[in-house]
Structure 1
Amino acid sequence: MKKTIVVSAINFTSGGPLSILKESLAELSQNFAANYRVIALVNSKELLSFDNIELIAFPYSKKSWLIRMYYEYIYFYFLSIKLKPDFWVSLHDMSPNVKCKNRFVYCHNPSPFYESKKTDWYKNTKAYLFSKFYKYLYGINIKKNTYVIVQQSWLRDYFISNWSLSNVIVAYPHVVINSLDKDQYQIGVDTSNKPLEFFYPSFPRPFKNFEIICEAYSLMSEGYRNQIKVYLTLNLELNSYATEIVNKYKHLPGIVFLGLLSRDEVENYYTKADCLIFSSKLETWGLPITEFKSTGKPILLANLPYAKETLGNYDKVSFFDINNPEELKSKMIGILENQPIFVKNRKVDVRQPFTEGWPELFNLILENENR
């Protein structure tokens, strides 16, 4: 009789979280479903198509936090008694109340670790409350897990420090880029026939720190601004934080507010842009860093541990203070003028337990059936 794996991700409906769900289920479908019964608890069956994975939909899970907590801490307990799983993998940060010998939680949302300011309440009230509330949800049942899974070493240290855990896996994501060709790029950027183009793709939340890029551009003389374009994934409709940024800087023609982009559109801008700027104050990974690294083109990066660990080995990077737009301005001009601003970044040595990609992670956690 096959052992049963339950994967819980009832709030994943778009963006990076949905990609995490699809990639994990694709791995289970291809390499594990022949030997295990795999059940996925999802928001909508229409978002997924895996013939050998059973889907149970919870379409009301995103209606309110009370409904979400009811599922996580009450309903799932009785569902686990019914399904009798051997493994329960919660992909969205919360450790549910379930009856299962081998329990795992995958923590990848950075909001609880962001030190919100009072001004963030006005910029994005939902994100502000979320960051305050979610810290407590992280801690519920966390010590009942066989393993807690995080994406970087600094997060493991945080979990160990806050909850005295000794069972935290660092699991690097495996990123596949489909359409990027780095052979055409070089450190020296030719701007003789076009402006120098910078790109920062991210969903607008206060900790994403879009304002430092806009402010750095605004501090430039008109001569430099005429030679530079900045592409940002904001528009007026997304949220109050995005609205504030757009209204403040829309008078600058060199800043282009694109709105949210599809996956293919993001990759097209990776190809088009001369340089990535990644100014976020906090990430559990920083996926655009890994994706853009595949182009071999220059990167301007927040001078923070998460960014350096995400980047790994790379020679075309320059780091800037996330609170210093004047420094970022100088770095942007430095690339325009082919100044020697780049430094070498080297990968972090990660202690065990450590995995890279879904195959290694599932092989590690499913070993528990032999314990």
Structure 2
Amino acid sequence: MKKIIVNASGAKVGGARTIVETFIQWVELNDFNNKYIFIVGFDIESESENVEIIKLKTNGLLSVFFAVFGILYYSIIYRTNIIFSFMNLNICFPFFNRITYFHQAKFFEEKNFRFMIYKFFLLLQAKSVFICQNEIIKSNLEKLFDFSGKTKVVDLWPGIKIPRERVEPEWFNDFYDSKNIIALCPYTDVRMSHKGFEDVYNAYDFFKNKNIKVLVTSDKHGYSNNDVFYFCGNCSYSELHFLYSQSNLIIFNSLFETVGLPIFEAQYYGLPVVLSNVEYVRNLRNKFNDLNFIVLESKEVRFNLEKVKNIKIPSNHTCFTGEWDQIQAFF
């Protein structure tokens, strides 16, 4: 039995946390031959005998330091040289078996000090394995560093995690009206410019004329509730899935994502997803050409309501199950 340290100390909320939880769930159900020591930045429990959870939360440059140097402490404690990191970086010492889950799309756009540090330490990770969430990230990483043949860069689809139960938020009954079309906008922070929320908010007249209520899972941050938009604030994962089950469509017009988990969580409920016509969406359509997507023709958020149809996707579809089984070849 191999021992594998999994570093996810900086994964605390949102998609990063969900993907770590998805991997833990996969290990519990599928890999009984190895021992996994998960170092995570959030509360989670596991009853699996081959899974150990260590709670350790890191932020900012501390996350970088821990991923590159601090993780050595746990490798000594558990006597293993296999380290799987969800932190975009991994231990800098070459005698380790390093598998790095690289999921930072901003890495190729930003030029600040933090990302310069990332680039420096990534150059020290030659002769290791990088796992990317899609072909675009894989291609960009290969172009940026021109890795040698001894460095493997692969794309591996993470799949999604379905909560054991759906929880109705306390405010939902006051919001819900069966006469309205509910469009869920599952953004955790509308201030992030790449999410394109300003274009959604500017489509007020379109939504009002079509009797669409837009439910946003973010705090207002300068916007306001009105007869079209309702900002419910951040919700739990179980609450989010309840909102999926009660919605008619999803608006997710982000300009770039590494995965965009809400796109696929919505597919589980058969919901159409309104998307921008950008590179990562075109890549998704090439990979999954049978999903329920409505791609906008321009920056303006307008679409034909005749396309808003519920299409049930088989639960064993690859977009749900993921490709985690392929990772075992690298341990």
Counterpart in 2 of 1:106?
Answer: 101
TM-score normalized with structure 2 length: 0.78
Separation in structure 1 between the aligned mates of residue 69 and residue 161 of structure 2, nearest angstrom: 37
Cα deviations by residue, 1:173-215 (Å, 9 ceiling, x for unpaired): 22254699xxxxxxxxxxxx71222111022122111111111
Other structure's SS at 1:194 match:
coil
- Residue 261 of structure 1 deviates from its aligned partner by 1.8
Counterpart in 2 of 1:96?
Answer: 91
Q: Does 1:58 align with 2:56?
A: yes
Counterpart in 1 of 2:293?
Answer: 317
Separation in structure 1 between the aligned mates of residue 14 and residue 155 of structure 2, nearest angstrom: 22
Counterpart in 1 of 2:121?
Answer: 140
Cα deviations by residue, 1:21-76 (Å, 9 ceiling, x for unpaired): 2332333344434x3333222336x53334433344434x23xx343333233333
Change (3 A) 1:318 1:141: closer
Change (3 A) 1:139 1:297: same
Report if aligned partners of 2:7, 2:67 keep a CA contact under 8 Å in 1: no
Other structure's SS at 1:93 match:
coil
User: Which protein is richer in helix relative to its size?
Assistant: 1
Report if aligned partners of 1:302, 1:320 keep a CA contact under 8 Å in 2: yes
The residue identity in structure 2 corresponding to 1:288 is P
Separation in structure 2 between the aligned mates of residue 294 and residue 341 of structure 1, nearest angstrom: 15
Counterpart in 2 of 1:28?
Answer: 27
Separation in structure 2 between the aligned mates of residue 32 and residue 315 of structure 1, nearest angstrom: 29
Separation in structure 2 between the aligned mates of residue 175 and residue 49 of structure 1, nearest angstrom: 18
Separation in structure 2 between the aligned mates of residue 55 and residue 317 of structure 1, nearest angstrom: 37
Cα deviations by residue, 1:312-363 (Å, 9 ceiling, x for unpaired): 22365331267x22xx23x1xx21xx3x699xxxxxxxxxxxxx73542332
Separation in structure 2 between the aligned mates of residue 210 and residue 289 of structure 1, nearest angstrom: 16
- Residue 251 of structure 1 deviates from its aligned partner by 6.1
Counterpart in 2 of 1:171?
Answer: 156
Mapping 1:308-347, distance limit 5 Å:
308-310=282-284, 312-314=288-290, 316-320=292-296, 324-325=299-300, 328-329=301-302, 331=303, 334-335=304-305, 338=306
The residue identity in structure 2 corresponding to 1:294 is Y
Counterpart in 1 of 2:37?
Answer: 39
Report if aligned partners of 2:256, 2:279 keep a CA contact under 8 Å in 1: no
Report if aligned partners of 1:108, 1:284 keep a CA contact under 8 Å in 2: yes
The residue identity in structure 1 corresponding to 2:27 is L
Report if aligned partners of 1:43, 1:57 keep a CA contact under 8 Å in 2: yes
Segment drifting more, 151-160 vs 101-110: 101-110
Separation in structure 1 between the aligned mates of residue 132 and residue 207 of structure 2, nearest angstrom: 43
Mapping 1:119-130, distance limit 5 Å:
none
Q: Does 1:4 align with 2:12?
A: no
- Residue 161 of structure 1 deviates from its aligned partner by 0.8
Change (3 A) 1:310 1:175: farther
Structure 2 unaligned residues grouped into runs of 5+:
166-177, 310-320
Other structure's SS at 1:47 match:
coil
Counterpart in 2 of 1:160?
Answer: 142
- Residue 149 of structure 1 deviates from its aligned partner by 0.5
Counterpart in 2 of 1:302?
Answer: 276
Change (3 A) 1:43 1:293: closer
Counterpart in 2 of 1:261?
Answer: 235
Structure 1 unaligned residues grouped into runs of 5+:
117-128, 181-192, 237-242, 343-355, 367-371
Mapping 1:216-231, distance limit 5 Å:
216-217=203-204, 219-220=205-206, 224=209, 227-231=211-215
Report if aligned partners of 1:7, 1:40 keep a CA contact under 8 Å in 2: yes
Separation in structure 2 between the aligned mates of residue 77 and residue 19 of structure 1, nearest angstrom: 25
Cα deviations by residue, 1:145-181 (Å, 9 ceiling, x for unpaired): 521001111111111111113521110122254699x
Report if aligned partners of 1:151, 1:285 keep a CA contact under 8 Å in 2: yes
C-alpha RMSD of matched pairs (Å) = 3.2
Counterpart in 2 of 1:293?
Answer: 267
TM-score normalized with structure 1 length: 0.70
Counterpart in 2 of 1:363?
Answer: 328
Report if aligned partners of 2:89, 2:100 keep a CA contact under 8 Å in 1: yes
Separation in structure 2 between the aligned mates of residue 28 and residue 341 of structure 1, nearest angstrom: 36
Report if aligned partners of 1:13, 1:47 keep a CA contact under 8 Å in 2: no
Other structure's SS at 2:144 match:
helix
The total of aligned residue pairs comes to 300
Report if aligned partners of 1:290, 1:310 keep a CA contact under 8 Å in 2: no
- Residue 135 of structure 1 deviates from its aligned partner by 5.7
Task: Calculate percent identity across the aligned residue pairs.
Answer: 21
The residue identity in structure 1 corresponding to 2:325 is E
